[in-house]
Amino acid sequence: MVQNAYAQVYKKQHYGMVGKHSAVKVCHWTKSEMTGGKGCYKNTFYGIESHRCIQMTPAMNSCTENCSFCWRFQGFDSMHISDEDDPEFILEESIKAHKKLLSGFKGNPKVTTEKWEESQNPKHIAISLTGEPTLYTRLGEFIELATKRGFSTFLVTNGTLPMVLEKLNPLPTQLYVTVAGPNKQVFNDLLNPAIGNAWENFNRTIDLLPSLDTRIVLRHTLVKDINMPFLDEYHFLDSRADPDFVECKGYVHVGQSISRLTQDNMPSHEEILQFSRDLGTRLGYELTADRKESRVALLAKDPSNSRIDFDKISSRLNIA
Whether 1 is in a domain gets the answer no
Is 184 a member of any domain? yes
Q: Is residue 313 packed enough to be buried (19+ CB in 10 Å), middle (13-18) or exposed (0-12)?
A: buried
What's the number of domains the chain is made of?
Answer: 1
97-107 as b/e: b if 16+ CB within 10 A: bbbebbeebee
> Does the residue 161 lie in any domain?
yes
How do residues 128-154 score in pLDDT, each as one tens digit? 999 999 999 999 999 999 999 999 999
Q: Report if residue 2 sits inside a domain.
A: no
pTM for the model stands at 0.94
- In the three-class reduction of DSSP (H, G, I as helix; E, B as strand; rest coil), residue 274 is classed as helix
Spatial CB neighbours of 94, under 8 Å, sequence gap ≥ 6? 18, 22, 24, 54, 56, 125
* Enclosing domain of residue 279: 7-317
CB atoms within 10 A of CB 149: 16
In a domain, 216, yes or no: yes
pLDDT of 88 reads 98
pLDDT recorded at residue 4: 58
Vertex 52 angle, CA 49 and 55, to 5°: 100
Nearest to 224 by CA among 275, 177, 267: 267
User: Please, are residues 318 and 170 in contact by the beta-carbon 8 Å criterion?
Assistant: no
Q: Each residue of 27-48: pLDDT tens digit?
A: 999 999 999 999 999 999 999 9
Mean pLDDT of the chain: 93
pLDDT of res. 317: 60
What is the DSSP code string of 214-252?
SEEEEEEEE-BTTTB--HHHHHHHHHHH--SEEEEEE--
| Strand 296-300 with 286-291, pairing | antiparallel
b vs e for 150-182, b when ≥16 Cβ sit within 10 Å of the residue's Cβ?
A: ebbbbbbbbbbbbebbeebebbbbbbbbbbbbb
Return the CATH number at 261.
3.20.20.70
In this prediction, the residues of the chain whose per-residue pLDDT falls under 50 are: 1-2, 319-320
Tell whether 39 is covered by a domain.
Answer: yes
> Helix (H, G, I), strand (E, B), or coil: what is residue 178?
strand
258: in domain: yes
Please report the pLDDT score of residue 202 as a whole number. 98
